[in-house]
Structures are given as structure tokens and as C-alpha cells.
Amino acid sequence: MNVLDVMAQLEALGTQQTKKTFIRHGAPGPLFGVKIGDLKKHLVKEVKKINNLL
């Protein structure tokens, strides 16, 4: 998994509604609008697996 893979997954997981909410709450752009639960479910676990292999 490289940076391009991670960015593609983030873009796929993001929603317009979540992006609007984050911006309304002061998050600076650009952003994809990925919910924290989706991050944990899909990416954090995968990145931890990779780090454990190193």
C-alpha cells in the first residue's frame, strides 16, 4: 500500500455531506469528508498491519 492507494481509498470513502459538516466546523480544505469510523474500519487497521511488518 503506497500513498496513491491510500489517497484513492480516502476519496472513495468520502461523502459530500461529511465534507460540508467538517468545513462548517472549521476544518481547512482540501479534504475528502471521510468519517472517523470509516477511517478506523478501512485504513488504520491496514496501516498498522504494514507497520508491524516493518
What are the tens digits of pLDDT across the range 13-33?
A: 999 999 999 999 999 989 999
Cα-to-chain-centroid distance, residue 48: 14
Domains of the chain by residue range: 3-53
- DSSP annotation of 54 reads -
What angle (nearest 5°) sits at the alpha carbon of residue 50, between those of residues 45 and 54?
A: 145
| Residue 54 pLDDT grade (very low, low, confident, very high; cuts 50, 70, 90) | low
Between 33 and 54, whose confidence is greater? Answer: 33
Residue 27 has a pLDDT of: 94
